[in-house]
Structure 1
Amino acid sequence: MIKIRRRRHEVPALNTASLPDLIFTVLFFFIIVTHMREETVQVKYKVPDGKELAKVGRKSSVVHLYIGKPLTGTAAGGYRLQLGNRIVTLSQLVDYVSDLRGRMQQEDAVQMTVAISADKDVDMQTVMDVKRALRQANVQRITYIGNEEK
């Protein structure tokens, strides 16, 4: 009788030669798609809770307007408006929004949206004055930032 020997088959080792390429590709992907906050918030604000929240479309056409108490100093003067990295007054808001629109690309300027992040304790008169100033600056889209109600 002939004896047949069977060889033991081993699983080949995993080839890790292309692993660094894969890791760097994923790293570059996340570097490219990550949006870093360009402005430093200089006011204290806590946004109110909302029931009907929706995502904003093009983020490149969104300008954030923060309404809150100043981080430094006293809040005796009331609430401050921050647009971009600048603290602006209500009278400066129209000119500064127009300046921001002028620096945007054409398609972003057409779809410009001002996202208002107002402190939940801000009186409605302040918000209405800001909206009136934004209408004077020909802003067509205004959204309010809020937390999802739990």
Structure 2
Amino acid sequence: MKFTRKAKVGSAIPTASMADISFLLLVFFMVSTVFVRYRGVPVELPEAEKIEKLESRRNVLQVWVSSEGIVSIEDRNIPLAEVGKVVHRHMTVNPRLIISLRGDKDSEFGVISDVMEELRKVEALRVNFSTKRELDQ
């Protein structure tokens, strides 16, 4: 008995729909990708668009920074190196204390950054940046 060999089956990949598949993938990635442009950081301080009322006035410690770089806590001028100690003393009395940091429009950000660093050292992390809302005219 003689067996006949079958014809060889080709191992070619069908490429007729390859262009359609690649086009669909391209459209899918274009639609699902978010393109973000870097626009820089527009800074105009201190104006507020949204006002949030703090929970209670007794839980708020006002920290003021003047345009000359003078730091004031509860109407007393405090040296920058003492800010952390004063805030820590207030936080031991009231652990739910919120620090309301108010800087003058013309104050240097370096001083405000130094105050924030002093607050961070004593783990005063509940900081609120207060601004004056511009009245609608």
Structure number with higher strand proportion: 1
Q: CA deviation at 1:68?
A: 0.7
Alignment partner, residue 144 of structure 1: 129
Task: Say how many residue pairs are matched.
Answer: 91
Q: CA deviation at 1:79?
A: 1.6
Alignment partner, residue 96 of structure 2: 111
The structure with the largest alpha-carbon Rg is 2
8 Å CA contact 1:53–1:146 kept in 2: the answer is no
CA distance in 1, matches of 2:76, 2:133: 28
CA distance in 1, matches of 2:130, 2:74: 15
From 74, 78, 87, the equivalent of 2:77 is 87
Q: CA deviation at 1:58?
A: 2.2
Amino acid at match of 2:62: H
Alignment partner, residue 124 of structure 1: 109
Instruction: Give 5+ residue unaligned stretches, structure 1.
Output: 1-46, 70-77
Amino acid at match of 2:114: D
CA distance in 1, matches of 2:56, 2:96: 8
Alignment partner, residue 15 of structure 1: none
Amino acid at match of 2:105: K
Whether 1:97 and 2:74 are equivalent positions in the alignment is: no
CA distance in 2, matches of 1:101, 1:110: 5
The alignment-based identity, stated in percent, is 16
TM-score normalized by structure 2? 0.60
- Secondary structure at 1:87 match in 2: strand
Instruction: Give 5+ residue unaligned stretches, structure 2.
Output: 1-44
8 Å CA contact 2:88–2:124 kept in 1: the answer is no
8 Å CA contact 1:68–1:80 kept in 2: the answer is yes
CA distance in 1, matches of 2:75, 2:105: 21
8 Å CA contact 2:69–2:108 kept in 1: the answer is no
8 Å CA contact 1:112–1:140 kept in 2: the answer is no
Alignment partner, residue 61 of structure 2: 63
**Superposition RMSD on alpha carbons, in Å?**
1.7
